[in-house]
Structure 1
């Protein structure tokens, strides 16, 4: 085994002198051929060179080994063998020849004429050489820029041979040539890989990439640019950049580009992403976002322009802006509608429809309501521009069968033009043509969970598309309007029903009052007879005094005053009677409750005397007023007093006959009136039943007095309940709310 110096060799082992010129020609061919050789042909040229080397140097095999700088791996990359000698396939050789690879990677050659020349530390390598049949070998490391990149190995398998100095030197030169060839290949591969990667990036880029030379002519036009502008690259390359810019911008754009080429200074329009306009092959303009950069190649400027079509983005931005402004409009409308008194809806709703129509630029906005039976649409409110016709008051489903069916299913119907009406909607299209409606948006509106109304927007004269972002908001304001109007309608219906119920209640209450007065006729006659008898007696006494000339006139005057008082007493009885039996409209006003109680007590006082019942008044004396219909409240009191007197008609099992009437403020905003008797009482099972219509504990009762009384009290916002009197008898209590103080 020898070191890098050329080994001594016998003259008989040196190659013939005639081999040397051929070897020199080989070196010259390799040195020149590898320089401009395409990458794809370098591998074939290396294999051919190894073939020539094997023939010229009379060796059996020549291998080219490559080293991996990062991992230290060593692999045969190229090989050539003489016929009869097995060629080496590309494979790793680091494991089989570890000592050889370490020596080569340190920059030292491995040369032996016989295997015995290998040192002991190369035992593994010697075994591998024997296994492959190698007898002599010359392996030279290849270096590029001081870095070992591989080696060239020459081997003899059929006989041993020496390696003279001139062969050693030429092998070194050969290693340098192959090293340069491999470096050239690697550089070309990296260049081609980078170029391919760049081409792939440019071609696959989503943005358009256009390169322009110093004359402002296109030299690169990627696939995205082809799609964006509608030009093939073959037509675009060589064309001036102005070809893709609208006429009105070309002069100014040329000035900007020229300034950028000369100075490299960017402006607000060029050099940063800025919204501009570009021109497609069909002549249409579209918005773009552009950035530009400058490079110098071979002394010539090269401008790279990256373009992005922002048509969809700007359209989306416009839709979002419109949606936000529409959202603000709807918020203002909704707030106004919710704050508006019910009586103002007839004014506020059309104003809301007008605001929607003017904002969206439509000609007519109509709010319809499905009629009972869903066979037609009834006009609720509408707004129309100056040229739009007034909508009909009623639209039959027969005129719009296809449209009505879909709306009732809750489907939105949107048509940008007449041509979008389906064939099965021939009736709708015919009506639309007659009315001049080009575009239509009909949104079904749900009230209480079911489709009850429709908000319809129409455009005359020209078609238009409807933004999907606006439809949910249109539905929202439509349902707000529909629910408010439905709430208003139900409120009106409720008021009408309550008014009608109150009128019927008053009629029935009047009948009960008349019946009550009939039952009290004996007592009333007795009460009326007393002042009449007194008037008669006072009048006779006055007549006698007048006949006596000696009578003091003051005595006669006293008698006449008494006559007037009794007449007034009788008149009060008649007045109270007339008030109770007279029909009257419901009149709620502030009432002195204790004053009303005292009037009722006066009406039953005679009856109490006739029945030997003691009246016990326990009135607060400081009660606030209540808002009520005084006659109806007195009717309730009179009914309770009459029932109490009837309950004590039979001999009282609990002692004295006592009718107690009391008042108290039982809550900050509530007054309670209590009527208690010591009569026969009410069974616990009947305490609630006594308020049911036609239920009575009296053989002669109608059974509607307490039922009417409870409804009267509840209509005034109070309650009426019954309970047993702990001392015997029954207790009825009713409450009334205190009149609210007004500032």
Structure 2
């Protein structure tokens, strides 16, 4: 019997997603062609003497299929899930000798039901787009109540399903099962089984297995959705980081252009129609300072706290305002609800722009044409944007009050450095987790061993003491990693003090131990003789050295096979007034003409690099009176060197 795949894949598939009914095979009302057999196509005829569908043989075949599919989805990469689901639907159709099986999803925001995956026998056309609220109201109510829709013949449908029965008949369905899929108390869709060539029975035992299979698919789709959402959040964080980085090094005359370009990019990414940065005046009216509106979407010049009392009260307490649909507003927000309708807003995400608890403005994105969801994972990035906008506001006022340009530049440089530090720690998270879990695992093993020693008839107390001392040592090791990590990510202003450069370099190398193990690398520290006294900012020097070492590790990924698998760190006193730190790798090196270009903002040789790490490193070193340069490594690869001035004798 010739077969043909019918696919409607999630997010960029062979066929666009279209509405579908939910709890019936036309519930699969999702497919785009008619469900009635094409008159120009001859359907394969049913078997002459089919075995009873209630037979144990069919149930055993389906149980084996259920077990195989359940095991096959375990640990499956997100990129392979769509293909695996469609292959599973094909196997379902063949195992049950039916005509079509489909997977339907319910949009988390709009509630719209859409076909995401489908497989049918050749000659079975797709069902046309249908508004299931009108065409299948009874089936939809069953799905929402968690009940499957099951009929072996149309005449079994109850009187209240008259509208649905008419829809099923037009589609040529003779027997159907629509099994709702629920995850976390929310209806996520339906798994449907349809027979168009003949009527058939659906035994209770088989329906029970179908429900289990629907649960398997629901879990897989929920996991896929979570991973896709995580990727979406990472993409948004990269977008926000680019905007923040540009702002933190921008000249004042360039800020407006960068902000409005950022608002456009953020709104486009989120699917919003308006993105606005509001400033509050003395009259408690919010006027737009910067904005982006989609074409054809009317703008808003200002709004007042009196018109939006509930929203203003939330923002005044430093709380986020977020709703995907107007129905999510609470009962005490009636005035705000009416104002949102008047303004044409269907979904809103608004973050307060505040400094020292004082509300200075609002950063908002709004959807006008369609509803938008705002996942929890996006909230930290949105808040970070609002914080930077708040800092911008403070800086403008500081300029108007003629604050010193040098101190302000230092503030911005450090905020930029903080963004880079947080970004660096995020990239190192896997290695840091490895560094922490190793001592924790050792602690657990030592604790179990101590318990066994104590539980014996003659406890070996000296051995128990030794085990406890090992636990203390491993605990201190994990604590050191956390302490260094906290020092990296906390906000920090320039603080000069005496530093131990050798100890600082050793700490950086320890932080990168796990990452080096992953890349089969080692870092060699060439310890100097006695160094003169140095006064510098320890956090900034650590950030610079850590950045150079991580760049060297990444460069070694492209190293020639015969190249040494090591990175050298050399600390030396190069003159009575200067101490030098060199980081040399054996990677592909840097072209002669790019040795200065690598320090330009937004110049990056990495596909996902921000291009700001070396630029901020040079600024951090220069702020302490030092220099940072790049050169060719005579042994092959690249060499970065920064110098720091020796402390004057009178400060000793």
TM-score over 0.5 for the pair: no
TM-score, normalised via structure 1 length: 0.33
Between structure 1 and structure 2, the one with the greater Rg is: 1
Normalising by structure 2, what TM-score?
A: 0.38
Higher relative contact order (CA 8 A, sep 6+): 2
